[in-house]
Chain A
């Protein structure tokens, strides 16, 4: 294996600034949408007293989950000693931070009182998984920053493995915390399941890797850096395996739910009668998010084409957003079972009259805020790779593969 050299992203200036301008514009639009929502109040959103977490949460949770997943590429290199992944580690660490920042910004800006962030940072209830998450998120950013330093500063290289192990363990805790936000909610039928935490971890593997692959291929492609087929094949196969693992967890989650009679109504809602949530589940989460990408990635011919791999990765991202949408919004739309053995005939406040689902229609500002978070994560990533040496100058097979016969 040859020595790896890193170089700033060499895309030509007009395209670089053009790209930044587009992303900055999306961030600005998201910012204006936030100002509008904060000034008017949440009544301008689709959120209500029944559906209290809306589209911003879908984007925020997706980005946070993907952030921990993006770090996996680095972990495979330094924790599990796979040499081929070592040159990929810097970008992996950078994206872990930028995606998390993008997600957190969306989460914070959707608070009813975002100006009270200082209260959230100074007043804690340690029984709340949210309070834990504040530590987990901030700690994650700090640890990954140190991890990046140990990778990029030659004198600190020796510590890289140790910090890498810590970062890996921390990211597992972080995603467990994110999954547990739902896992601990005893009130609602769709949540309160221990499987939520491991399912979120496996989802993070796939979503993070999908975004990583997209950024890697885009940056290498735009400044004509060599990117070897063997490496891409490894990464796409890994993505396929991760998607298959989500498939497995999805099946187990619903099968265990179907086993207990108390969950039958919820399962019928998601799998059969839930309207938009049923469609999003089958078309978004299952078909586009799992079956189609697996079909592409494991296809003998399609799986070799960069274009097809790009589409598969995009589908995994789309499927991920669908999955989180079904979990977050679908889980709230299903009426809480407050009176077992009774049917609610009338209610002064939306208690699921005759089992009817709660209504939610996402509004434009919510969507723009979420999109702004995405754009911010990409914007910071692209600035990062431009000004610092995150990208290897070559990832051709003879560079990455020690056994490559040239």
Chain B
């Protein structure tokens, strides 16, 4: 009798364990499968190649003093506005430690006194110093010209931030509560503008900052395509690279500086 009870109990336990394992497996694996299928759903099925080089032209004459639209759009798109100031940090400290992918800079010409406003971000160099110095290769340049960070291999040494001539990179100093799907982030890694790569890889060809700029100061597109808006604009206006002396062949160019 008791043997039979034991047998039944064993069977029930076995069934329970089987179900529990199934549920646990589904919980653990399903999101991965789901993400995977979403990833596959992207129109781009081939690896990126260098037939495209993404780039920008910033027409500073159209960049309005006091306007912050591109910065706000970038913050929203990449979840930078969802980061919370750590409890105990001062406002000033938080401002120096929070990540910032794009910023507005106002310049005065020392000779003429003329004032120019422009957005600064990662310049997506063809020969990026951040990629050169990264010990693990986490900082890399895609074939289509986008310079970005592989957050799985970034060890948080910050050498790329030392090397970047544009102060374009940010280190995540704090614990991150909300992690946007398009822009995963974690404490202790470096990140910077990636030209809204999640948009480009899903078939769009705009960036959040460009879309937000209703003055048309930001022209984005394929620098290799002579018909693209950015190539046309570059052919029309004289444009410069910031710190052209370093010969980095930046993907972001400026007029009127």
Residues on A facing B (Cβ under 8 Å): 38, 40-43, 47-50, 52-53, 111-114, 116-117, 119-120, 123-125, 127-131, 134, 181, 184-188, 332, 336, 338-339, 341-351, 359
Partner of B134, one of A41, A125, A338: A125
**B246 → chain A closest CB, angstroms:** 6
Question: Smallest CB-CB separation from B65: which chain A residue?
Answer: A346
Question: For the complex, is B171 an interface residue (Cβ under 8 Å from A)?
Answer: yes
Give the residues from 10 to 37 in chain B that come closer than 8 angstroms, CB to CB, to chain A.
Answer: none
Is B106 a contact of A112 with CB atoms below 8 Å? no
Which chain B residues numbered 238 to 254 have a C-beta less than 8 Å away from chain A?
A: 242-243, 246
Interface residues of B, dominant DSSP: loop
Contact A187 B96 (CB under 8 A): no
Cα distance, A338 to B131, chains bound together (Å): 19
Q: Is the CB of B171 within 8 A of A49?
A: yes
Can you sample 18 A-B contacts with CB below 8 Å? Answer: A38-B188, A40-B175, A41-B173, A42-B171, A43-B94, A49-B167, A49-B169, A49-B173, A112-B171, A116-B156, A117-B155, A128-B133, A130-B135, A185-B162, A187-B164, A338-B167, A344-B107, A347-B106
- Which A residues touch B94, using CB under 8 A? 43
Per the bound structure, the CA–CA distance linking A111 and B172 in Å amounts to 12
User: Is B100 positioned at the interface, with any CB of A under 8 Å from its CB?
Assistant: yes
Q: How far is the CA of A359 from the CA of B95 in the complex (A)?
A: 12
Contact yes or no, A131 B135, CB < 8 A = yes
Given A343-B108, A344-B107, A345-B108, 12 other A-B residues pairs in contact with their CB atoms under 8 A: A40-B174, A43-B173, A52-B171, A112-B157, A113-B188, A116-B154, A120-B157, A128-B132, A130-B133, A345-B106, A349-B100, A350-B96
- By a beta-carbon cutoff of 8 Å, the part of chain B in contact with chain A is 68, 71, 86, 89, 93-94, 96-100, 103-111, 115-116, 120, 129, 131-137, 153-159, 161-167, 169-175, 187-190, 242-243, 246, 257
Contact A187 B134 (CB under 8 A): no
Q: Name the residue on A nearest B246 (C-beta).
A: A186
Chain A at the B interface: SS class: loop
Q: How far is the CA of A50 from the CA of B158 in the complex (A)?
A: 11
**Are B157 and A130 within 8 A (Cβ)?**
yes
User: What residues of A have a CB within 8 angstroms of the CB of B169 in the complex?
Assistant: 49
Question: Is the CB–CB distance between A344 and B171 below 8 Å?
Answer: no
Chain A: which residue is nearest B130 at the CB level? Answer: A187
B155 touches A188 (CB 8 A): no
Tell me which residues across on chain B come within 8 A of A181, comparing CB atoms: 159
Known: A53-B158, A128-B132. Is A48-B107 also a contact (CB below 8 A)? no
Report the Cα distance A346→B171, complex, angstroms.
22
B136–A129 CB distance below 8 A: no
Q: Does B165 lie within 8 Å of A336, measured CB to CB?
A: yes
Query: Contact: A49 with B170, CB < 8 Å?
Result: yes
**Quick check: A119 and B136 within 8 Å, CB to CB?**
yes
B171→A338 contact, CB < 8 A: no
Residue from A41, A48, A346 within 8 A of B106 (CB atoms)? A346
Q: How far is the CA of A188 from the CA of B106 in the complex (A)?
A: 21
B155-A116 in contact (CB<8A): yes
Closest CB in chain A relative to B112 CB, distance in Å: 10
Q: B243 to chain A: which residues have CB within 8 Å? A: 338
The residue that A347 contacts in the complex, of B97, B105, B129, B166, with Cβ under 8 A, is B105
> Closest residue of chain B to A43, judged by CB?
B173
- Which A residues lie within 8 Å of B131 (CB)? 125, 127
Contact A40 B133 (CB under 8 A): no
Point out the residues of chain B lying under 8 angstroms from A349, CB to CB.
100, 103, 120, 167
> What residue in chain B is nearest A347 (Cβ atoms)?
B105
Determine the distance from Cα of A114 to Cα of B167 in the docked complex, in whole angstroms.
Answer: 24
A113 and B99 in contact (CB under 8 A), knowing A125-B134, A186-B246?
Answer: no
Chain A residue numbers with a CB within 8 Å of B166 are 336, 338
Q: How far is the CA of A92 from the CA of B188 in the complex (A)?
A: 37
Interchain residue pairs A-B with the least CB separation, the first 5: A112-B156, A112-B188, A348-B103, A130-B135, A187-B165
Q: Measured between alpha carbons, how far is A209 from B83 in the docked complex, in Å?
A: 48
- B188 shortest CB reach to chain A, Å: 3
B108 to A123, Cβ gap below 8 A?
A: no
Q: How far is the CA of A141 from the CA of B115 in the complex (A)?
A: 56
A50, B97: Cα distance in complex, Å: 8
Question: Are A347 and B134 within 8 A (Cβ)?
Answer: no
Closest-CB distance, B152 to chain A (whole angstroms):
8
Given A48-B96, A48-B97, A125-B134, the answer on whether A344 and B187 have CB atoms closer than 8 Å is no
On whether the beta carbons of B162 and A124 are closer than 8 Å, the reply is: no
Q: Which residues of B contact A123 (CB under 8 A)?
A: 136-137, 153
Check if A344 sits within 8 Å of B135, measured CB to CB. no
Known: A111-B188, A112-B155, A339-B242. A346 touches B97 (CB 8 A): no
- Give the one of B104, B167, B171, B188 with max A CB within 10 A: B167
Greatest chain B CB density within 10 A among A38, A119, A342, A343 is at A342
In the assembled complex, how far is the CB of residue A328 from the closest CB belonging to chain B, in whole angstroms?
10
Bound together, the chains give a CA A53 to CA B163 distance in angstroms of 12
Question: A60 CB to closest chain B CB, in angstroms?
Answer: 11
B163, A348: Cβ atoms closer than 8 Å: no
CA distance A343 to B116 in the complex (A): 10
- Closest partner residue, chain A, to B99 (CB atom): A49
Q: How far is the CA of A86 from the CA of B154 in the complex (A)?
A: 45
Contact B135 A125 (CB under 8 A): yes
**A341–B131 alpha-carbon span in the complex (Å):** 28
Bound-complex Cα distance A124 to B243 (A): 29
User: Residue of B at shortest CB range from A127?
Assistant: B132
User: Contact between A49 and B110 (Cβ–Cβ < 8 Å)?
Assistant: no
Q: How far is A350 from B106 in the complex, measured between Cα atoms in Å?
A: 12
Contact between A52 and B158 (Cβ–Cβ < 8 Å)? yes
